[in-house]
Structure 1
């Protein structure tokens, strides 16, 4: 008898809107809009957990850049018992290939993973990972992946076996602090 295949969830979150002060790129903080939008992303994730049976966030992998760290801190405040993030320097300015490597290293026990990073990496990952049957969410992610954009994937099988086209992109959301989806 074979073991049942576990459904896993991957959330690909682009950091919230960042400011452009005269500092090194990795040190850019969130802008005022980003500080409003990141909690909205957290509320969206909390609501998703309430809607989906078996959805829980077990692990967070986050770029160490200031804007991604601040995004996750504000998202996490909206969640019940969020995991501590793992800061991985490979996620900053990552290629799609590097992001796949990071995802494949996820421990098998993890059922819900959040990846917090930057564009163009987040968009390229989401578009290549999505099964072509993903429909409207895939179309939206291809068109534009704005700050605070969230791609929610469901996948079957092990993280270590993750390949392009292997996951269903079930939702693509752009939570905003004023509770509207501006698409920007």
Structure 2
């Protein structure tokens, strides 16, 4: 693929987690989270984006979210479970995304707040329709996702280079 073709990245926050007596990294999804993850997967399928790669945090709730959501997609992308996506800043998330091979056109990142929301905010230099207004109004609740597009190499992904194309949250 040419670096001149638009790339898409979807930033997907894990679904609602439970609070049992386990470490934060090991928290599983709550019942509502399991339902919302599947619904989010159907909405991801509705975008029509053929994902080449999914980067997923190693936390239990993100892995469970992805396992429920991916079953709703028409094809399963290559999935990489990445420890560096847990409890990180937007800048650290960009550093991980900068390592994405240029043969990947469309990627999905399944992670945590506040990093995922912060990353959506700083990447989006512009927005289509009312996506930015909805994201600002609703925040980035559990199971929400933002669809962004940019042109260029993954190594060139930096603040302000993307357009926010769409935003979805279970409360919509």
Q: TM-score range by the shorter chain?
A: over 0.9
Q: What's the TM-score, normalizing by structure 2?
A: 0.94
Q: 2:5 & 2:116 partners in 1: Cα distance? A: 24
TM-score, scaled to structure 1: 0.88
| Root-mean-square deviation (Å) | 1.4
Quickly say closer, same or farther: Cα 1:101–1:122, change in 2 above 3 A: same
CA contact (8 A) 2:11 2:109 kept: yes
Change beyond 3 A, Cα 1:61–1:135: same
| Aligned-residue offset at 1:139 | 2.6
C-alpha displacement of 1:84: 3.6
1:44-123 correspondence to structure 2 within 5 Å: 44-49=43-48, 55-123=49-117
User: For 1:7-40, what per-residue CA distance to the aligned partner results, in whole angstroms no more than 9, with x for missing partners?
Assistant: 1110000000000111000000000000000011
- Gap regions ≥5 residues in structure 1: 50-54, 176-181
**1:4 to 1:69, Cα distance in 2 relative to 1, 3 A:** closer
Counterpart of 1:33 in structure 2 is: 32
**What is the CA-CA distance between 1:4 and the residue it aligns to?**
7.3
Structure 2 unaligned blocks of 5 or more: none
Higher strand share: 2
Q: How many positions carry a matched residue from both structures?
A: 170
In 2, Cα distance between equivalents of 1:48 and 1:77: 15
What stretches of structure 1 move > 4 A for 4+ residues in a row? none
Structure 2 equivalent of residue 43 of structure 1? 42
CA contact (8 A) 2:98 2:156 kept: yes
The question of whether the paired residues in 2 share the 8 Å contact of 1:60 and 1:84 is answered with: yes
Give the direction of change, closer, same or farther, for the CA distance of 1:72–1:4 in structure 2 (3 Å limit).
closer
Q: Measure, in 1, the Cα distance between the counterparts of 2:131 and 2:83.
A: 28
